[in-house]
DNA sequence: GCTCCTATTTAGGTATGCCTAAATGGCTGC
DNA sequence: GCAGCCATTTAGGCATACCTAAATAGGAGC
């Protein structure tokens, strides 16, 4: 008769659930190694934690040795709650406290664990229930649903096609400052004019400008666009 | 040659420093038992932590066995920083996010550890560098100085004297709601009309009202007043 | 089917910060 | 000056969440 551990929610648990959710979004199961990379900890530490998360009652994840982790409904619900916190905080810092969009991520990373439901409600209200954060990432609703949108990776856009920038990656402040300088931000219209060969840069016309902008292939992986319809302005 | 431990600042360290500061303010050295009571942990745990805080290099406190703890300059500086965080956050929650004054303490208790210097600066600016929080407690300045004020305990007021309420205790939400109902809050003028015998209630006239208000003796310990001059409105 | 290589797990260890129970110190009253 | 009491410290443990080093599993290529 083994003991049935209680489902304690520590900061570490939240970080794991968020990481697993984001990895799953990017495609498939979250492997031990990928979680370790994302959280910047040793793979061995991840194994131990995954075992614990799966053994909680009720469990946060389903875990099989050598096969990585998948969130349970409960785990996904919790992950979405944290992501909602994070993105609402980012929006609040940007719109109300004058943070630039390259400054919000780190601050939100700390605050997302500390705020109450009341705080969440108040800032959501103050912002008018936004659907996306300053980088264009969708904000999960209170009920756990996600604003659906029709978006593709920048690299999948066809030459000659127009699109609205829907979101950019929020991880690297330096990249965000570069995007700022270029005028690349969610809501901006662009047209893919030319695709250089050998995975070279994409030449795009931003917001009807006369000049073209070259976007390196690697950087384009950090940009998503809505190919046809209008998208939400953040 | 023993090792010289680094001065790590964890949440627990901050909580201890804040507790010791507040106990010292209320009079003299902070004893092991009083810290344990304030932090709601066992006295034995406090002993171990005090030893560690004193052994850090540079030390946060001076500690002698059986004689309690006193903050070093460095420790006091850190304590004031945390208290500034706490009181600015309380003010922000109250004035900007519509929290009532009995709701702010618990939220601030969590956020004070999570915010950056930038966040502190932004909310201080948004509030116009306030000198006191919603309960009337003075907010330490960035340089570590405290707004000086001329205040005494409510119980020390003389019969017939007028005064401005300068601050009330922030710990007990229920007490704060009671104060709200009575109209007891910082900045309100009162006059001590009568002091009941045997440590009975104080009868006061609040804000020029016609009716008198009875304030129990115990509750009066949670109220401070400025006997002569005007005080800062929070 | 076997060999490698890499991903993963196991084993054992560390630091933090809390706990309880038992030992000791310091002070007060007689 | 000593008895007794309360505050405090000591000793030994526990949970969390990380680490490194060594063992093992799975899958690709031959």
Structure tokens at B213: 């208000």
Chain A residues in contact with B106 by the CB 8 A cut-off are 116
Residues 6+ apart with CB under 8 A from A224: A136, A151, A152, A153, A154, A165, A166, A167, A168
Whether the ω angle into residue B58 lies within 30 degrees of 0, i.e. cis, is yes
Q: Nearest residue on chain B to A112, judged by CA atoms? A: B114
- B110 and A115 in contact by Cβ < 8 A? yes
Q: Nearest residue on chain A to B126, judged by CA atoms? A: A97
Chain A residues in contact with B121 by the CB 8 A cut-off are none
A15 CB neighbours strand D below 7 A: yes
Q: How confident is the model at residue A224 (pLDDT cuts 50, 70, 90)?
A: very high
How far is residue A142's CA from residue A196's CA, in Å, rounded to a whole number? Answer: 43
Contacts A–B by Cβ distance under 8 A: 42
Structure tokens at B18: 């804040």
B44 CB neighbours strand D below 7 A: yes
How far is residue A99's CA from residue B199's CA, in Å, rounded to a whole number? Answer: 54
How far is residue B70's CA from residue A2's CA, in Å, rounded to a whole number? Answer: 47
Structure tokens at A195: 């695709």
- A97 and B115 in contact by Cβ < 8 A? no
pLDDT in tens, B21-32: 999 988 778 999
For chain B, the residue count is 234
How far is residue B218's CA from residue B201's CA, in Å, rounded to a whole number? Answer: 8
Q: What integer is the mean pLDDT of B38-59?
A: 95
B39 CB neighbours strand D below 7 A: no
Q: How confident is the model at residue A234 (pLDDT cuts 50, 70, 90)?
A: very low
Q: Nearest residue on chain A to B123, judged by CA atoms? A: A97
Q: What integer is the mean pLDDT of B65-90?
A: 96
- The confidence score (pLDDT) of residue B5 equals 54
Q: What integer is the mean pLDDT of A146-169?
A: 91
Pick from A99, A115, A122: CB nearest B98: A122
Please tell me the pTM assigned to this model: 0.88
- Strand D and chain A: which residues 193-232 have CB closer than 7 Å? none
Q: Is the model's pLDDT at B1 over the cut of 50? A: no
Nearest chain B CA: its distance from A119 CA (Å): 8
Pick from A99, A114, A122: CB nearest B110: A114
* B30/C25 CA-to-C1' distance in Å: 18
Chain A residues in contact with B118 by the CB 8 A cut-off are 99, 103, 107
Q: Is the model's pLDDT at A82 over the cut of 90? A: yes
B53 CB neighbours strand C below 7 A: no
pLDDT in tens, A85-115: 999 999 999 999 999 999 999 999 999 999 9
Placement of tokens 């060969």 in the chain: A197
- Strand C and chain A: which residues 56-115 have CB closer than 7 Å? 65-66, 68
* A93/C17 CA-to-C1' distance in Å: 33
Give the HSE-up count for residue B187: Cα atoms under 13 Å, Cβ half-sphere.
10
- The confidence score (pLDDT) of residue A230 equals 46
Residues 6+ apart with CB under 8 A from A44: none
Q: What integer is the mean pLDDT of B63-71?
A: 93
- The confidence score (pLDDT) of residue B27 equals 77
* Burial letters B20-36, b for 16+ CB under 10 A, else e: bbebbeeeeebbbebbb
**Is ipTM > 0.90 here?**
no
Burial of B141 (0-12, 13-18, 19+ CB in 10 A): middle
User: Using an 8 Å Cβ cutoff, are B159 and B129 in contact?
Assistant: no
Q: Nearest residue on chain B to A127, judged by CA atoms? A: B97
Q: Is the dihedral of CA A73, A75, A78, A80 positive or negative?
A: negative
Q: Which nucleotides of D are covered by protein (CB under 7 A)?
A: 7-12, 16-22, 25-26
Chain B residues in contact with A121 by the CB 8 A cut-off are none
pLDDT in tens, B183-218: 999 999 999 999 988 888 999 999 878 899 999 988
User: Using an 8 Å Cβ cutoff, are B202 and B196 in contact?
Assistant: yes
Q: Is the model's pLDDT at A233 over the cut of 80? A: no
* A149/C26 CA-to-C1' distance in Å: 72
């Amino acid at each position: 008769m083994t003991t049935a551990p209680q489902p304690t929610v520590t900061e570490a648990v939240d970080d794991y659930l968020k990481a697993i959710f984001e990895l799953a979004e990017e495609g498939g199961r979250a492997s031990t190694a990928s979680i370790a990379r994302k959280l910047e900890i040793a793979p061995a530490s991840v194994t131990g934690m995954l075992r614990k998360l799966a053994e909680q009652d009720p469990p946060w994840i389903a875990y099989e040795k050598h096969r990585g982790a998948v969130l349970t409904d409960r785990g996904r619900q919790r992950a979405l709650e944290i992501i909602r916190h994070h993105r609402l905080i980012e929006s609040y810092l940007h719109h109300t406290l004058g943070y630039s969009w390259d400054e919000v991520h780190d601050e939100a990373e700390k605050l997302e664990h500390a705020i109450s439901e009341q705080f969440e409600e108040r800032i959501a209200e103050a912002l008018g229930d936004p659907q996306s954060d300053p980088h264009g990432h969708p904000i999960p609703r209170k009920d756990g649903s996600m604003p659906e949108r029709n978006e593709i990776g920048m690299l999948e856009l066809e030459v000659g096609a127009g699109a609205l920038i829907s979101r950019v990656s929020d991880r690297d402040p330096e990249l965000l400052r570069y995007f700022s300088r270029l005028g690349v931000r969610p809501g901006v219209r662009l047209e893919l004019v030319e695709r250089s060969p050998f995975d070279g840069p994409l030449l795009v016309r931003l917001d009807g400008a006369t000049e073209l902008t070259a976007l390196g292939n690697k950087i384009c992986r950090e940009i998503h666009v809505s190919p046809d319809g209008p998208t939400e302005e953040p």
